[in-house]
């Protein structure tokens, strides 16, 4: 077992397991809240008075704002197939600033476009978007922050028509905040389960499977003469038991016999003639 890898794998797995539990808890909480969210746009409607409605343009993050929608009472149909809701072009939308200056051309994007997806799932029942005011996310309407703008609608006879002003930006912010908690929890648990925990488990398994660092081998360079019947150690020079060789150039002597006597005996052996017997 590799202790370092095993500990690392266990710690990583534990951390991402905790993140997965937290993410699932957040997802469950956000999911329950989302079921209770009332996505009815009515709270964000402002009804006109005598054909006029005023709003304040606010852009807190300075990154743009989704347009206010000018809604007129019409059925969402396109019977002549010209791509526009029938009768919507009969209305004229005008916008003035706080000084009463007509800024319509600077702050309005025309609506009335017919869309099949919108027809299938209408957000505003019985109402059609005639114009978009202060759209600064997808287009560059010249709206000033904290400026008050007054919207007016007239029909083809130039008579005032009551309409509904919808604060689409505030509505989208509300929906996004609820969805953000749900998606954040799901994302956290997904990352923990799909990425973090497998990595931790792999490290843990590898740490358990492989061994630790190999032991160091000590090399013995000294030679020892084996004693008795001991087996010589690898790397040592063995010497046969009971045999001793005399160094080259020296005469082997017998213990207890003088060296000179041994020499005389050898000389007599070589000097005497062989016996005839």
In a domain, 264, yes or no: no
String of DSSP letters for 55-118: EE---TTSS--PPEEEEEE-----TT-SSB-TTGGG-EEEEE-TT--B-HHHHEEE--B--HHH
Q: Are residues 25 and 59 in the same domain?
A: no
Q: Are residues 116 and 147 in the same domain?
A: yes
Q: In which domain, by residue range, is 108 found?
A: 49-162
- pLDDT value for 156: 92
Q: Using CA atoms, how far apart are residues 133 and 110, in angstroms rounded to an integer?
A: 9
Domain count, the chain: 2
In a domain, 221, yes or no: no
pTM recorded for the entire structure: 0.56
In a domain, 238, yes or no: no
Q: Are residues 76 and 107 in the same domain?
A: yes
Query: pLDDT, tens digit, for every residue of 242-252?
Result: 455 545 445 45
- pLDDT value for 185: 45
Q: Using CA atoms, how far apart are residues 277 and 274, in angstroms rounded to an integer?
A: 9
Q: Are residues 140 and 74 in the same domain?
A: yes
How many CA within 13 A on the CB side of residue 239?
A: 10
**In the chain, at which residue ranges do the beta strands (DSSP E only) sit?**
45-47, 52-56, 68-73, 92-96, 108-110, 127-133, 148-154, 164-167
Q: Are residues 108 and 75 in the same domain?
A: yes
Whether the pLDDT of residue 219 is over 50: the answer is yes
Helix 3-35 vs helix 168-191: crossing angle, to nearest 10: 150
In a domain, 152, yes or no: yes
User: Looking up tokens 């202060």, which residue turns up?
Assistant: 134
- pLDDT value for 274: 57
Q: Are residues 53 and 107 in the same domain?
A: yes
Query: pLDDT, tens digit, for every residue of 40-71?
Result: 889 999 999 999 999 999 987 788 889 999 99
Query: pLDDT, tens digit, for every residue of 145-204?
Result: 999 999 999 999 999 999 999 999 989 888 887 665 555 545 444 544 555 556 655 655
In a domain, 182, yes or no: yes
In a domain, 226, yes or no: no
Query: pLDDT, tens digit, for every residue of 192-208?
Result: 455 555 665 565 565 56
Q: Are residues 157 and 115 in the same domain?
A: yes
- pLDDT value for 86: 96
What band does 1 get if pLDDT is binned at 50, 70 and 90? low
In a domain, 141, yes or no: yes
What band does 96 get if pLDDT is binned at 50, 70 and 90? very high
Q: Are residues 61 and 130 in the same domain?
A: yes
């Amino acid at each position: 077992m590799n202790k370092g890898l095993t500990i690392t794998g266990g710690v990583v797995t534990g951390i991402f397991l905790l993140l997965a539990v937290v993410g699932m808890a957040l997802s469950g909480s956000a999911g329950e809240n989302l079921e209770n969210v009332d996505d009815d746009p009515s709270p964000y409607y402002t009804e006109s008075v005598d054909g006029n409605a005023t709003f304040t343009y606010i852009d807190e993050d300075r990154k743009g704002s989704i347009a206010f929608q000018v809604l007129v009472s019409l059925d969402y149909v396109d019977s002549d197939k010209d791509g526009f809701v029938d009768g919507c072009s009969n209305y004229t939308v005008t916008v003035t600033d706080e000084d009463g200056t007509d800024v319509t051309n600077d702050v309005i994007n025309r609506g009335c476009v017919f869309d099949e997806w919108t027809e299938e799932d209408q957000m505003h029942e019985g109402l059609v978007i005639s114009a978009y005011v202060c759209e600064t996310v997808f287009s560059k309407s010249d709206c000033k922050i904290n400026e008050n703008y007054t919207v007016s609608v007239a029909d083809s006879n130039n008579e005032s028509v009551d309409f509904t002003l919808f604060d689409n930006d505030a509505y989208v912010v509300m929906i996004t905040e609820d969805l953000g908690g749900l998606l954040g929890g799901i994302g956290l648990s997904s990352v923990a389960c799909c990425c973090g925990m497998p990595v931790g488990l792999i490290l843990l398994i590898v740490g358990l499977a492989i061994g630790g660092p190999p032991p160091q081998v000590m090399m013995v360079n000294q030679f020892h003469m084996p004693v008795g019947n001991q087996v010589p150690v690898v790397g040592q020079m063995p010497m046969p038991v009971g045999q001793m060789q005399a160094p080259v150039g020296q005469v082997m002597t017998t213990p207890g016999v003088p060296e000179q006597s041994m020499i005389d005996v050898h000389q007599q052996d070589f000097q005497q003639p062989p016996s005839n017997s």
